[in-house]
Structure 1
């Protein structure tokens, strides 16, 4: 399989509802390591599997985005969020929408249940930036982008930026630089069949 790359809006995989992984094997661990490298390369603090064109419920984070702090690296597989409390608004961005930012209101405290790469169960109550990043990345796994959650007034300001991404994507489709949409869908179905 070719090296992973971050896909950009409006690539259809970003709207795909990811499927739970049944097992963690060497391939999944390799993907996670590659995703962490890509996250740092693009100066992010989180990256979901469907942002690298994989249809699985997995994301990686480092809340400080600092490769010199590997102890902050976390991998969450098949996350489930519950017990959201409190609300706060903060400007968010996305590696699949470079240079686009907008205010998003999210819970300040959540419970996250998931698995790590060793197959250990994660069951934690988290708050602050960690909670926000986990919510943002879990949204990705459900096909939701932060731009779906910005206030209507901000969304209208972002529409022209999103339109530029759409034009660029369609141009890449037409030139053959990207595979046809049917081929993208077939590849996702094949990957899901293999692991979910």
Structure 2
């Protein structure tokens, strides 16, 4: 199976992802492919639903470069104990070329699992905490612009409409499956892993 990054307004981006109950060879290969895609598109994080997988998993590396920084596969994350807040500019691989200021917690606690089933408990702050919050939002069907102020979001309006027009046109032309077919694919993944 070859994964590719889906763009807004793909329905999977608004779907609340399901917890993963089992890890197999295919899921590990998909996690590796997600890391490859993330690096190829110069990202620092990529959530499973950004590649049309309805599962609570994302990959991150705040350096954005293979072999540098700390590469992680995060399964079934829970973010807790937020402290402080700060605004910073964010973008998204599902909305290429679009950026906006988002207020996030400066510090959080991450509880999750890795691909081997080992528990991860981390106190995270700064940019790494921001990346985790952005990717975790994806798993809940929240896009970064949902967290922007109304004025800031209005500035994106035209660009978001262009993404919607492009998506509908590709769907009408058959390059993207129908919403019904996408829903069917989603249910197959959930039956297998959730």
Fold match by TM threshold 0.5: yes
Task: Describe the superposition over 1:26-52 as per-residue Cα deviations: whole angstroms up to 9, x where unpaired.
Answer: 111101100000000000000000000
Task: Describe the superposition over 1:86-106 as per-residue Cα deviations: whole angstroms up to 9, x where unpaired.
Answer: 000000000000000000000
| C-alpha distance in structure 2 between counterparts of 1:106 and 1:175, whole Å | 39
What pairs up with 1:8-157 in 2 under 5 angstroms?
Answer: 8-69=7-68, 72-157=70-155
Question: Structure 1 runs of 4+ off > 6 angstroms?
Answer: none
Task: Describe the superposition over 1:123-156 as per-residue Cα deviations: whole angstroms up to 9, x where unpaired.
Answer: 1111011100000000000000001011111100
Calculate the TM-score normalised by the size of structure 2: 0.98
Local SS of the residue matching 1:155: helix
In the TM superposition, residue 68 of structure 1 has moved relative to its aligned partner by 3.0
Query: Is it true that 1:164 corresponds to 2:162 in the alignment?
Result: yes
Calculate the TM-score normalised by the size of structure 1: 0.97
> Structure 2: which 5+ residue stretches go unaligned?
none
| C-alpha distance in structure 1 between counterparts of 2:86 and 2:58, whole Å | 23
Local SS of the residue matching 1:5: coil
| C-alpha distance in structure 1 between counterparts of 2:36 and 2:193, whole Å | 23
Local SS of the residue matching 2:106: strand
> Structure 1: which 5+ residue stretches go unaligned?
none
Match of 2:179 among 162, 178, 181: 181
Query: Is it true that 1:195 corresponds to 2:193 in the alignment?
Result: yes
| C-alpha distance in structure 2 between counterparts of 1:33 and 1:186, whole Å | 25
Equivalent residues, number: 194
Local SS of the residue matching 2:84: strand
In the TM superposition, residue 177 of structure 1 has moved relative to its aligned partner by 1.2
